[in-house]
């Protein structure tokens, strides 16, 4: 029950929860951060864990408390994201035929595989980078890339670029704005703004499909 309560609090308010964990467990916080990023990117059944908000909170706490070393935590979380993506990719590749034989597994529909294959064909490997900045989609994308049989060399190259850009940019934004009083007082609003910017490409894609393609 305590674990469930902790996870719910973590989802609701990652900054406060992380502050409490950092105060009580200090260096073990690095292990927690690694685990959360790994699970969020590596397990397709856990797409709702905080990603963007967690990275922003990490940067903010590194700037304001000094208990987190930003030069250490950024490479650590890049590695966690890459490891999670690789697990997700190879699980998708291993079970691709099984997934394609089913109409739906959990919330993953067979049509998602087809649509993602078409998306990769249309946009190329850059789709891997774009997906990294989109909540929930970044959890599904590696699995679908594996299931869609994207070449691993191509996938891992763009996966690495995406992980570096994602972790570094959002963590450093939090770090640079960490001492800003407005940001500290309006953490949730700032994070929502970051998430909104992250999903703009997806929203634009939906608008194009819904309105422009129909007109055509």
d(CA 125, CA 21): 38
Q: Using one digit for the tens of pLDDT, what is the confidence trace for 109-146? A: 666 667 666 766 777 777 788 888 877 778 888 888 88
For residues 94-102, average pLDDT: 75
d(CA 90, CA 103): 21
The per-residue b/e assignment along 146-180, b for 16 or more CB within 10 angstroms, e otherwise, is bbbebeeeebbebbbebbbebbbebbbbbbebbee
Q: In the chain, where are the structural domains located?
A: 2-207
**3-state secondary structure (DSSP) of residue 47:** coil
What is the CA 97 to chain-centroid distance, rounded? 26
Whole-structure pTM value: 0.80
- Name the nearest CA neighbour of 196 among 151, 133, 139, 149: 133
């Amino acid at each position: 029950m305590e674990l469930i309560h902790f996870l719910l609090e973590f989802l609701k308010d990652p900054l406060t929860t992380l502050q409490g964990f950092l105060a009580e467990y200090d260096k073990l916080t690095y292990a927690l951060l690694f685990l959360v990023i790994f699970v969020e990117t590596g397990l397709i059944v856990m797409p709702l864990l905080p990603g963007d908000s967690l990275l922003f909170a990490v940067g903010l706490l590194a700037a304001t408390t000094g208990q987190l070393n930003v030069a250490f935590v950024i490479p650590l979380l890049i590695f966690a994201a890459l490891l999670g993506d690789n697990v997700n990719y190879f699980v998708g590749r291993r079970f691709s035929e099984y997934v394609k034989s089913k109409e739906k597994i959990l919330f993953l529909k067979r049509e998602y595989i087809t649509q993602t294959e078409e998306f990769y064909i249309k946009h190329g490997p850059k789709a891997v980078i774009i997906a990294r900045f989109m909540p929930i989609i970044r959890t599904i994308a590696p699995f679908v890339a594996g299931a869609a049989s994207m070449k691993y060399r191509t996938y891992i190259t763009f996966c690495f670029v995406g992980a570096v850009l994602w972790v570094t940019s959002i963590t450093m934004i939090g770090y640079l704005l960490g001492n800003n009083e407005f940001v500290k007082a309006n953490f949730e609003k700032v994070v929502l703004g970051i998430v909104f910017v992250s999903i703009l490409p997806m929203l634009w894609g939906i608008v194009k499909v819904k309105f422009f393609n129909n007109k055509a």
